[in-house]
């Protein structure tokens, strides 16, 4: 069976991006930033007045950019840090059941997969993202053979 790691990374990236985009949209347009700030305050998230709007905007815009495969690795690292900062305090403050852990865990794993493995296939005509294959170094031009005259 043929392996398709680039396609697998694409699926992981797009699923993770869709969840972040939906959560960012919900925080901004459905729940509202005051409600998110209150939730962050109760959960013990540091600097909730700053973290709540930053989280909402980063999830929405970062999720959309990640969906397109743009700046995937830096975004994945930033979103992974966001998950740790916003979710860890709430998880440590009370009993941790699978229901509270599953979405943050999947988002963290998805962002780390993109950070480590790259974005997979991008929207630019379904081509591979621009990262060199393993072991590829800079190419050198072949030197023309020198001619010796007798």
Q: Angle at Cα 85 formed by Cα 129 and Cα 12, nearest 5°? A: 30
Burial of 52 (0-12, 13-18, 19+ CB in 10 A): buried
CA distances (Å), origin 142, targets 6, 138, 139, 148, 149? 31, 13, 9, 18, 21
φ/ψ of residue 121, rounded to 5: -80, 140
Tell me the residue length of the chain: 150
Q: Domain limits of the chain?
A: 5-117
Cβ atoms of 115 and 77 within 8 Å: the answer is yes
pLDDT in tens, 75-85: 999 999 999 99
Burial 95-114 (b: 16+ CB within 10 A, else e): eeeeeeeeebeebbebbbbb
Tens of pLDDT, residues 82-112: 999 998 887 777 676 667 788 899 999 999 9
Contact 119, 18 (CB under 8 A): no
For the chain (150 residues), the mean pLDDT of every run of 10, in chain order, is 90 96 96 95 92 96 95 95 89 70 91 94 59 50 56
């Amino acid at each position: 069976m043929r392996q398709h790691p680039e396609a697998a990374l694409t699926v992981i990236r797009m699923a993770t991006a869709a969840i972040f985009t939906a959560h960012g949209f919900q925080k901004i347009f459905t729940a509202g930033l005051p409600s998110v700030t209150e939730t962050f305050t109760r959960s013990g998230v540091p600097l909730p007045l700053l973290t709540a709007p930053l989280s909402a905007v980063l999830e929405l815009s970062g999720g959309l950019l990640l969906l397109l495969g743009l700046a995937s690795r830096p975004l994945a690292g930033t979103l992974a840090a966001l998950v740790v900062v916003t979710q860890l305090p709430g998880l440590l403050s009370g009993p941790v059941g699978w229901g509270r852990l599953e979405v943050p865990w999947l988002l963290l794993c998805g962002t780390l997969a993109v950070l480590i493995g790259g974005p997979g296939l991008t929207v630019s005509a379904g081509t591979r993202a621009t990262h060199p294959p393993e072991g590829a170094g800079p190419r050198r031009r072949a030197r023309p053979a020198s001619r010796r005259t007798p």
